[in-house]
Structure 1
Amino acid sequence: MITAYRDNGEAVVISAATPPASLPSDVVWIDMLRPDKAEDLLVEGFLGIDVPTRDDLKDIEPSSRLYTAKDAVFMTASLVCKAESGQPELTDVAFVLTKGLLITIRYEEPKAFALFTAAMHRIPGGCTTGTVLVTRLFETIVDRTAEILEIAVARIDGLSLQVFGERPVGKRRPPHYLEAKLMDVASHHRLVAKTRDSLASLSRVLTFLYTVPTVQEDKDAKELCRTISRDIQSLSEHASFISGNITFLLDASLGLINVEQNAIIKIFSIAAVVFLPPTLVASLYGMNFDVMPELKWTFGYPMAVVGMVISAIVPYYFFRWKGWL
């Protein structure tokens, strides 16, 4: 789908089936969402450039993601999408500056684009050129990235309370409770990792965009690029801090699992301490020898039972006195 945006924020859908003869003169942004071959050819005919394909966007070489050709500037950034779901992903989005227009090619729908289009008409001074528009769009993308990190922090804080929160005295956690929380930790780590990758990509793009002549000639766009770059740096540091918290939460969860497993082993140890001596006594009097004085003793059975009880109680209290239980 091709959507053209005028400088006042008005959207115009362009169909490859019934293409217009030319683009309206006040169009500053052409947004291509999951374009097919016919739509690629239509935009290429309007602008005289080669539109990056899906395969082109997947190229990880910096020279293939950031370059200039035929008076057009090509940039590819990796953005986080589906952040609110349990399976966040990175999607590659191409940004092309040419003839005063911005062209974006994307195959997913990062929320930053919806936020930007909704607020495009409220941008101070408007978006009269593609240069102004791309810097404002990157500003919205970085703001959305900051929001994603805030979502991650809130989720991690909630998970931390679930793992370390106080429990009623005498009550144990449900079976496999902490093991289930490990899956939540992994999900949050994936979100933060994807966000860090996106920030690294955005940092490279903004550094390249800052050197573009049209940006250097526009004082406001140049200053905005510098501000966005500083924001990306601070967000990268914040993401590293969050990643450290996730690592701590993971280690602490594994430690609590070990503590609970040790408590279970302690129960078996206590059972062994209690029942091993009586078993020894019972085994002793279970031997089938002809000459055993206690076999003919009237009080042999009660005394054997008393001996087993005493042999169970004495080691238990001795171990407890030593603090081993």
Structure 2
Amino acid sequence: MLRSFPEAESGASGVWIDLLSPDPDERSIAEQRCGLKLPAREALSEIQASSRLRADGDVLYMSAALISGTGAGEWSNAPTGFILTPDTLITVRYDYLEPFDAVGEKLRHDVDVSAASVLATLLEDIVGRAADHLEQASAVVSKASQLLFFEEEERPGLKRETRKIRLIMRDVGRASDQASRVRYAFLSLGRMVSFILDRCTPDLDQLMQERFDSIRHDINSLDEFETSLEGRIQLLQDAAAAFLSIEQNDVVKVLTVASVVGVPPVLVVGVYGMNFRNMPELSWELGYPYALILCLVSGLLPYIWFKWRGWI
């Protein structure tokens, strides 16, 4: 799909030309109108800085991995190309991205815009929505922290603790994935803004320079917030693993104590189960109660020892 802003009957004569999953005919029309070669989808996915950012005279070729998603946690990185000329901004994308529609609606009939101002508006909206992603991830992490560190189980147990931690880690893992995609987007966007300022500063007025510089500062501050968020996520993951390990150790400790307490009575029963002819207790009337008491005492002594040592 090929769209032009502001709207024009020629279809590709506006200040901003947006191509969404263009077919060969649409690519050909845009290339003929602008006299430029549009990047293929494979080129937009390159991760080298030299492939993402390059200049050809007064034309800047840039690409960034933006965030595409439905809001239900199914996020993905969407490689997007930006071609900035003195008069026209061309964007090439293969995924639906809300900022492009939102900015397009604002600029649909606005004829008093420049290519640089359209790009600045796009980047401001993209960074703002990325900040919303971080806020969502931070809210999930805060809720997980509350559940993990401050809420006590009414009926604690390994099964309930395992289920609780599994649910917490699922949510935290999704938040971590969301934050990591935002950081990846910020990495490419930050380089892109710096590239624009380095290459275009002499041609940009003071207001445009301030807007791009503000975008760069916002990206840097949000990147620091994302780093802090990743630290909180790592703490939660480590704490959850430690809590689960402690719960498992408690279970193993109980089983160990039970097995050790049961060894002496088994030994007593084994001895008196030999049925030797000359075993005095066999003809003793109190032999059976004596053996039972001996089993009980031999089992209690290890239990009292463990209790005294504070192991249970």
Question: TM-score scaled to structure 1, two decimals?
Answer: 0.87
Q: Classify 1:164/1:55 alpha carbon distance in 2 versus 1 (closer, same or farther; 3 Å).
A: same
Output the CA distance in 1 between the equivalents of 2:282 and 2:271: 12
Structure 2 spans left out of the alignment, 5+ residues? none
Deviations 1:120-175 (A, max 9, x none): 479xx975111111011111111111111111100111122222232244433626
Q: 1:115 aligns with which of 99, 102, 112?
A: 102
The 5 Å alignment of 1:158-237 reads 158-172=143-157, 174=160, 176-177=162-163, 178-213=165-200, 216-237=203-224
Change (3 A) 1:70 1:37: farther
Matched, 1:39 2:26: yes
Q: Does 1:75 align with 2:66?
A: no
Q: How far does residue 235 in structure 1 lie from its aligned partner after superposition? A: 0.8
Larger displacement relative to structure 2 (203-212 or 54-63): 54-63
1:139 and 2:106 correspond: no
Instruction: Note the alpha carbon deviations across 1:170-204, whole angstroms, 9 max, x for none.
Output: 43362631234333332222221121111111110
Amino acid of the structure 1 residue aligned with 2:302? P
Aligned pairs for 1:1-325 (under 5 A) are 1-6=1-6, 22-23=10-11, 27-69=14-56, 71-82=58-69, 84-120=71-107, 128-172=113-157, 174=160, 176-177=162-163, 178-213=165-200, 216-325=203-312
Matched-pair contact (CA < 8 Å) for 2:2–2:11: no
| Paired residue type of 2:162 | H
Which deviates more, 157-166 or 198-207?
157-166
Percent identical: 33
Structure 2 contact 64–79 (Cα < 8 Å) conserved:
yes
Return the alpha-carbon distance in structure 2 between the equivalents of residues 149 and 223 of structure 1. 24
Report the Cα offset of residue 62 of structure 1: 2.0
Cα separation, 2, equivalents of 1:48 and 1:76: 19
The offset of 1:110, in angstroms, is 2.6
Structure 1 residue runs of 5 or longer lacking an equivalent are 13-19
Residues of 2 paired with 1:119 and 1:257: CA distance?
Answer: 52
Q: Distance in 2 between matches of 1:127 and 1:268?
A: 78
Relative to structure 1, the CA distance from residue 223 to residue 175 in structure 2 (aligned partners, 3 Å threshold; closer, same or farther) is closer
Alpha-carbon RMSD across the aligned residues, in angstroms, is 2.3
Q: What does residue 17 of structure 1 align with?
A: none
Task: Give TM-score, length-normalised by structure 2.
Answer: 0.91
Q: CA deviation at 1:266?
A: 1.6
- Hey, which of these two has a bigger chunk of helix by percent? 2
Shift of 1:269: 1.8
Contact 2:3 2:12 survives alignment (8 Å): no
Structure 1 contact 83–148 (Cα < 8 Å) conserved: no
Q: How many residue pairs end up in the alignment?
A: 310
Mapped to 2, the partners of 1:204 and 1:261 lie a distance apart of 47
2:3 alignment partner, SS class: strand
SS of residue in 2 equivalent to 1:113: helix
Residues 131, 214 of structure 1: 8 Å contact kept: no
SS at match of 1:287: coil
Q: Any idea what the Cα deviations from partners look like across 1:61-81, whole Å, max 9, x if unmatched?
A: 222211222642211111122
Q: Distance in 2 between matches of 1:63 and 1:240?
A: 26
